[in-house]
Amino acid sequence: MSDTQAPEKRRAPVKEGKESKKESKEGDERHEAIYRAVSDAIVEQRLKPGARLREDALADVFGISRTGIRKILQRLALEQLVTLTPRRGASVTRPTADEAKDVFDARQLIECGLMPDVARRMGEKEAAELREMARQERQALRSGQQSVAIRLSADFHVRLAQLSGNATLAEFVERLCSRSSLILAVYGHPGHLGCESHDHDDLIGYLETGNGERAKAFMSRHLKAIEASLSMVEEEESAPDLQQIFGG
């Protein structure tokens, strides 16, 4: 039985009072920050699919208990960014070809389906915000900041989904985009982002003029082009230097 799978130790009863509440709030914030740091490293492909995530090494790097790290890994496992295996522990999920297809099918259904709503709700302010995101993405690509560009590209899709006004679907799109980054890391070509960044500008154009159906068709082609760029070849697993990624 792996310690990753072991049941959580019971927490000591929390004392009522300002001090303990403050401590637990700080603990929650710390937990959130570490969760965000690990999840960003996965989405930005600084941690590669298959990479082992040792609890003790992560606990050292972030200066928290192994129990705390275990909770974060369990949360990432629920989001399918991390895989927990008995005895072997945690590793960054390596999506299978079938899972990759399912993720892109789901993105087709949801992201394309949201485009008419986005077009209806698109005002000048929203269009300007999206244009700025697309500009930053191009700039990151030009200056060779691959991780930043991957993150900005995913953010663009998530922001679009949020602009539909459906928070539940937007949250789902966020997870699908995170998993897409893993898929691109495994099956994409090195140095290829997935999204053609001028596509994002074209899409904003259709949305700005309220042409929801055109935007829907364009999003469908955009996602199909990303999927078509993938090649299903297996890669060797790697052992990441956690100190280098998170330390200092």
What whole-number distance in Å separates Cα of residue 199 and Cα of residue 205? 10
Q: Is 80 left (phi over 0), alpha (psi -120 to 50) or beta?
A: left
- Taking CB under 5 A as the binding criterion, the range among 76-84, 88-96, 144-152, 192-200 that sits at the site for Zn ion is 192-200
For Zn ion, give the closer residue by CB, 72 or 170: 170
Q: Kindly state the smallest distance separating residue 222's Cβ from Zn ion, in Å.
A: 6
Q: Kindly state the smallest distance separating residue 200's Cβ from Zn ion, in Å.
A: 6
For Zn ion, give the closer residue by CB, 94 or 107: 107
- Taking CB under 5 A as the binding criterion, the range among 74-82, 121-129, 132-140, 191-199 that sits at the site for Zn ion is 191-199
For Zn ion, give the closer residue by CB, 41 or 154: 154
186 interacts with Zn ion by CB under 5 A? no
- Taking CB under 5 A as the binding criterion, the range among 3-11, 50-58, 189-197, 229-237 that sits at the site for Zn ion is 189-197
Query: Do 188 and 180 contact (CB within 8 A), yes or no?
Result: no
CA-wise closest residue to 108 among 11, 180, 181: 180
For Zn ion, give the closer residue by CB, 90 or 195: 195
Q: Contacts with Zn ion: how many residues (CB under 5 A)?
A: 1
195 interacts with Zn ion by CB under 5 A? yes
What whole-number distance in Å separates Cα of residue 129 and Cα of residue 164? 14
For Zn ion, give the closer residue by CB, 80 or 220: 220
Instruction: Give the residue nearest to Zn ion (CB).
Output: 195
Binding residues vs Zn ion (CB under 5 A): 195
